[in-house]
Amino acid sequence: MQSPVTHLPTIHAEAALREKEHDAFSTFLKTKNEAQVDAAVHALAASFEALIDCTACGNCCRSLMINVSSDEADALSDHLSMQRSDFDQTFLEKGMGDTMLMNTIPCHFLTENRCSVYAHRFAGCKEFPGLHLPGVSNRLFSIFMHYGRCPIVFNVLNALKTQTGFVFADDNTAEN
């Protein structure tokens, strides 16, 4: 396996150039056996996660909106020795039926690319980028949303294109 691409400006630029390719790849993957796609993505994710230091990036903590359950808010407010009402007012906002970490970029809890409440972080933070979860083929839209944001997603999807033999042809241009 070659060294992963981790330079965020490069990743962001490539994502912008490959939108049509991503649509075609999503369609291509939906024709494949779901269990095989999951197995391939899980294996690639494990490989790239071992090579990429998330604390060298921290981009997810600079750009994601995270849902927060009441239990998670209780646990973190307790950890921070805050009254729950003060915690909610300081860190949370109501979305469309959900409670979310206040849309502050970067995250309130990001300090030098590290989570200052790591042991008490929210489920959405723990699961990101979610490539270890089943049903990859059913979550391609959201996974591709992170292609230009997360070096792990970027590298996994590019390797998956190669591994599956995907070839994109657009207006006399062919890319893998």
What is the distance between the alpha carbons of residues 131 and 153, in angstroms, rounded to a whole number?
A: 8
Average pLDDT, the chain: 92
64-77: average pLDDT: 93
- Above 80 in pLDDT, residue 171? no
pLDDT tens per residue, range 9-23 = 999 999 999 999 999
Runs of H (alpha helix) within the chain: 8-17, 19-29, 34-51, 60-63, 70-79, 84-91, 123-127, 140-145, 151-164
Predicted pLDDT at 176 = 44
Predicted pLDDT at 26 = 96
Predicted pLDDT at 85 = 95
- Residues 68 and 122 sit within 8 Å (Cβ to Cβ): yes
Least confident of 72-81, 120-129, 167-176: 167-176
- Per-residue tokens: 45: 């994710």
Q: Where residue 97 falls among pLDDT bands split at 50, 70, 90?
A: confident
pLDDT tens per residue, range 109-167 = 999 889 999 999 999 999 999 999 999 999 999 999 999 999 999 999 999 999 999 99
- Per-residue tokens: 48: 């790239």
- Above 60 in pLDDT, residue 173? no
Predicted pLDDT at 51 = 96
Contacts of 163 (CB under 8 A, 6+ apart): 40, 44
- Above 80 in pLDDT, residue 96? no
pLDDT tens per residue, range 17-41 = 999 999 999 999 999 999 999 999 9
- Above 90 in pLDDT, residue 5? yes
Predicted pLDDT at 175 = 45
Predicted pLDDT at 38 = 98
